[in-house]
Amino acid sequence: VRTEPADPIPPTVAWADGAVRLVDQRRLPGTLAFVDCRSVSDVVAAIRNLTVRGAPALGATGAFGVALAAAAGADEHEVTAAAASLRTARPTAVNLAWGVDEVVRAWRAGGTDAAIARAQAIAAADVAANRALGTHGAGLLPPQASVLTHCNAGALACVGYGTALGVIRAAHEGGRVVTVWVDETRPVLQGARLTAWELDRLGIPFRVVVDAVAGSLFAAGSVDAVVVGADRIAANGDVANKIGTYSLAVLARAHAVPFYVAAPTTTVDASITSGAEIPIEVRDGAEVAGAEGARTIPAGARVHNPAFDVTPARLVTALITERGVLHHPDASGIAVLLATA
Ligand code: MRU
């Protein structure tokens, strides 16, 4: 009997003894620790304070959050209120609202057991989707590829395996040589802290660079492809992702380097026609004003701290999903993709 080797990265989100167990991403890379959320307000706080982050991980966490309310015996009014607070804990990643709504629907149809089962199915489907999109995307990378990625779109941003890092991981597992440029990703450092931690655990060679290095890497011919994740994709293929993604897409176009977006179809929001309708989270300026208590800007200086930007579809070479690769995404291609089972 062939068994899968143990995954070096534990599930980001899991249902454990009636609690929602999360990897505490605030403590990485120093410490791998877990947090058990036992109430909906615990889950909402964990989403807001970035204990858990990344679009697919937020989808599963929102799903388990509703299951938690159901398991506590919540009635219709309480489940509706729980769903509303979970859905709005962060605004940009559409997976969060999607995961919440799915489990509310399951609870209304079948009660607590159905709610828990649906949340568990969402978590399992996430890992399966990422493995599938990883396989689809790996074939796009040239031999001996140097790939630039931004933020963390790895296992930690999902339930497991990862989207952008899923593509890199699948290529690596398939015997291809891939080396990764890891953008530090100011101001929360998801690249430096989380992507680097994952690649280290997976044995995939990488180097961390500050975000401002990207231009010189392209100019030197040192980037063969950009692969990033997504928080929300509009019906026309515009992509919201971590702030700084748009700049990379412009650089990639200027240097004729392919720019790939890897995301499950649950990240597509067919209800909005373009990226202009995507709500962009603006986070606390304290994230920019200093690190670990040390202030790096003058006292009283104002900060603008948008967490995401929008890359127009015309700059996306291909969208890599669990259903296959959509080259040059646009409204008609996205519609066909969504209609494909
Ligand atoms: O603010 P974050 O860390 O939640 O932002 C995450 C990202 O921008 C990721 O790239 C995106 O959610 C895709 S995760 C597979």
Cβ atoms 16, 38 nearer than 8 A: no
- Report whether pLDDT(1) > 70: no
Cβ atoms 321, 300 nearer than 8 A: no
Going by pLDDT thresholds of 50, 70 and 90, the confidence category of residue 4 is low
The neighbour count for residue 84, using CB atoms within 10 Å, is 10
Whole-number average pLDDT of the chain: 96
Cβ atoms 70, 105 nearer than 8 A: no
Buried b / exposed e over 93-107, threshold 16 CB at 10 Å, is bbbbbbbbebbbebb
- Report whether pLDDT(33) > 90: yes
Query: What is the structure's pLDDT at 106?
Result: 98
Please compute the mean of the pLDDT values over residues 8-14 and round it to a whole number.
96
Q: Please give the Cα distance from 115 to 100 (Å, whole number).
A: 10
Distance from residue 246's CA to the centre of ligand 1 (Å): 14
Cβ atoms 317, 258 nearer than 8 A: yes
Q: Please give the Cα distance from 30 to 25 (Å, whole number).
A: 10
Q: What is the pLDDT of residues 99-121, one digit of tens each?
A: 999 999 999 999 999 999 999 99
Q: Which atom of ligand 1 is nearest to the CA of 229?
A: 13
Query: What is the structure's pLDDT at 253?
Result: 98
Query: What is the structure's pLDDT at 290?
Result: 84
User: 158 CB under 6 A from ligand 1?
Assistant: yes
Going by pLDDT thresholds of 50, 70 and 90, the confidence category of residue 3 is low
Tokens 């412009």, located at residue: 250
Residue nearest to atom 10 of ligand 1 (CA): 229
Q: Which atom of ligand 1 is nearest to the CA of 228?
A: 10
User: 55 CB under 6 A from ligand 1?
Assistant: yes
Please compute the mean of the pLDDT values over residues 136-149 and round it to a whole number.
96
> Tokens in use for 72?
């506590």
Query: What is the structure's pLDDT at 295?
Result: 86
Going by pLDDT thresholds of 50, 70 and 90, the confidence category of residue 2 is low
To test the pocket of ligand 1, the residue of 28, 231, 278 to mutate (highest count of ligand atoms within 8 Å of its CB) is 231
Q: Please give the Cα distance from 226 to 258 (Å, whole number).
A: 6
Instruction: Please report how many Cα atoms fall inside a 13 Å half-sphere around the Cα of residue 32, on the Cβ side.
Output: 10
Residues recognised as catalytic:
231
Instruction: Name residues whose C-beta falls within 8 Å of residue 281's C-beta, 6 or more positions apart in sequence.
Output: 90, 91, 92, 306, 307, 308
Distance from residue 156's CA to the centre of ligand 1 (Å): 10
Cβ atoms 265, 323 nearer than 8 A: yes
Q: Which atom of ligand 1 is nearest to the CA of 190?
A: 3
Please spell the DSSP secondary structure of 106-122, one letter per residue.
HHHHHHHHHHHHHHHHH
Query: What is the structure's pLDDT at 291?
Result: 72
Percent of the chain with pLDDT over 90: 94
Query: What is the structure's pLDDT at 341?
Result: 72
Q: What is the pLDDT of residues 200-232, one digit of tens each?
A: 999 999 999 999 999 999 999 999 999 999 999
